[in-house]
Amino acid sequence: QVQPVESGGGLVQAGGSLRLSCAASGLGNYRMAWFRQAPGKERDAVATISWSGNSAYYADAVKGRFTITRDNAKNTVYLQMNSLKPEDTAVYYCAATTRFGIRVSDYPYWGQGTQVTVSS
């Protein structure tokens, strides 16, 4: 069973960058994803990446600004976030699955989340 642990969140000004990391022993066998949840809103997928790293999905709101990558040798997945906007403010969660999908219900393994706050 994989147990993701996120790090790298914080406070940044609009237009700035942050890199989130997600570490988990054995994550090389899983499709990984980053979700986010803003106050009063549903948790939605931001980006997902296949176990090999050869394919990725991005939500329309982050295409061209966010990049998901993985280093299976280091058991770590990253989310590089550039050109951040105030609307990117949310708790960001790392999740793992052996299935394919972008829904919360597709991912049985979750981290505790890391707060990202973008000031205007």
Rounded CA separation 56/74 (Å): 19
pLDDT digits (tens, 9 = 90+) for 27-46: 888 999 999 999 999 999 99
Q: What is the pLDDT of residue 1?
A: 84
Sign of CA dihedral 85, 58, 80, 10: positive
* Four-CA torsion 98, 99, 100, 103, nearest 10 degrees: -100
pLDDT above 90 for 92: yes
pLDDT digits (tens, 9 = 90+) for 49-89: 999 999 999 999 999 999 999 999 999 999 999 999 999 99
Q: What is the pLDDT of residue 28?
A: 87
Where do the DSSP E strands lie in 8-55?
Answer: 10-13, 18-23, 31-37, 44-49
